[in-house]
Amino acid sequence: MSEFRVAVRSIQPIKTGGMADLFGFAGVSQASNDSNAVVQYLQSHQAIDDLGGPQVLAPLFDSPSIDWFGRLRPGAPIEEFTRYWIRMVDSYYEPATGTIIVKVTAFEPAVALRIAQDLLRNAEALVNRLSERARQDSVAFAAQELAKAESRLADLRVKAMKLQDKESILDPQASAESTLTLAAKLKEEIARRNAELSAQRARLAPNAPSVRASQDEIAGLSQEVERVEAQATAKRSGVGADGRPLSSVLGAFQQIADEKGFAEKEYESALASLETARMDAAKQQVYLATIVGPGKPEEASFPKPPRDVAIVFGVALAIWLVGLLGVYSVREHM
């Protein structure tokens, strides 16, 4: 019998807490699931095929030199060979220590050692495949989320450009601010002209030409203020404009700007997640650690002559005693 002990280890620490620690379930992790998967693999048909199949393994167990009770029936189907394999390869997982223990039994020391070494190598390959698949799935999911965020951001950019072309305005916020600034300046100018008009009325006749000129200028400035303010609150005109108030246009632009800002943050988050997934994928997250490697046995586990002789002697003695009691019982009734 050749024995080896291995453990599935993870580079990332196991995060536990709360109810798991309270009830003692902290040891349940992905590593334990992978350990159970390794045990199931070692006792499966797949493990036999990975070692060459019955064509390679059967001659090691059905040789005529092997005792009749221990050898494999020649020409046994794969189902029977798998059941025989499970008896010869004993593998189980110890949750308390997180260790996988594998005991390989054969009829020659070299054969037991070779099978144990091959099983250890195939188990390592299995864990690597499981880890690689998990890493690939993580990167693929992150890349998919990044593609979605990038597509959404591109759609919003196109939508913003179409809105700019439709409204014939690049930045409604800047336009609104410039409009309000212009209206404030015009009102200041109107206030200054009203002060001048008051001074003129105090020293000139009401129908004086300068007084009428000041009144005309104030009226023109007032009309200009109304026109400027109408651009933000009333109907506006312009090339390509649809006649909507600037405040309504500003709301549409603001909605797209908010969606675009959220999409940009989502894109940055997806990009960071992809980089993190790639960095994690560059590491071997789960690996098989060999605690005790396979060794070449020097002493046969079976048969054990003293024990077997003692068992045979005990069974024969029991049969003899039962037979003797039967004989005496018959004699007493005769």
Mean pLDDT over 321-333 rounds to: 86
> How many folded domains does the chain comprise?
2
Q: How confident is the model at residue 50 (pLDDT cuts 50, 70, 90)?
A: very high
One domain for residues 196 and 226:
yes
Is residue 332, in this structure, part of any structural domain at all?
A: no
Q: Are residues 82 and 188 located together in one domain of the fold?
A: no
Shared domain check, 270 and 191? yes
Q: Do 33 and 85 sit in the same domain of this protein?
A: yes
pLDDT at 135: 74
* 265, part of any domain: yes
Torsion angle of alpha carbons 97, 100, 103, 104, nearest 10°?
-170
In a domain, 224, yes or no: yes
Structure tokens, 244? 């909507």
pLDDT of 13 higher than 70: no
Residues 37 and 127 in one domain: yes
Is residue 245 in a domain? Answer: yes
Question: Is the domain of 157 the same as that of 244?
Answer: yes
Give a yes or no: residue 90 inside a domain.
Answer: yes
123 and 204, same domain (yes or no):
no
User: Which of these, 28, 2, 217, 182, lies nearest to 91 by C-alpha position?
Assistant: 2
Whole-number mean pLDDT of the chain? 80
The percent of residues in the chain predicted with pLDDT above 90, rounded, is: 30
Condensed to tens digits (0 to 9), the pLDDT of residues 101-134 reads 999 999 999 999 999 999 999 999 998 888 877 7
First-to-final CA distance of the chain: 56
Whether 136 and 9 map to the same domain: the answer is: yes
pTM of the full structure: 0.56
Among all chains, which residue has been given the structure tokens 């549409």?
252
Residues 183, 152 share a domain: yes
Reading the block at residue 239, the tokens are 């090339």
pLDDT (tens digit, 9 = 90+) per residue, 157-170?
888 777 666 666 65
The pLDDT value recorded for residue 248 is 63
Query: In the chain, how many H helices and how many E strands?
Result: 10, 4
Does 49 map to a domain?
Answer: yes
The better pLDDT of the pair 176, 240 is held by 176
Helix (H) or strand (E) holding 45: helix 45-50
Q: Please, what sign has the CA dihedral across residues 90, 91, 93, 98? A: positive
Annotate 88-114 with b (16+ C-beta within 10 A) or e (fewer).
Answer: bbebebeeeebbbbbbbbbbebebbbb
Residue 118 or residue 324, greater confidence: 118
**Which domain range does residue 76 map to?**
2-141+284-305
Domain co-membership, 237 together with 298: no
Range of lowest pLDDT (40-44, 120-124, 277-281): 277-281
326 part of a folded domain: no
| pLDDT for the residue 64 | 87
Of 123-127, 134-138, 169-173, 175-179, give the range with the top mean pLDDT. Answer: 123-127
In a shared domain, residues 161 and 137: no
Please tell me whether residues 121 and 183 are part of one structural domain: no
Does 235 have pLDDT greater than 50? no
On whether residue 22 sits in a domain, the answer given is: yes
- Which CATH number covers residue 6? 3.30.1890
> Residue 234 — pLDDT band, cuts 50, 70, 90?
very low
Q: What is the pLDDT of residues 184-218, one digit of tens each?
A: 887 888 888 788 778 777 777 777 777 778 777 88
pLDDT at 22: 46
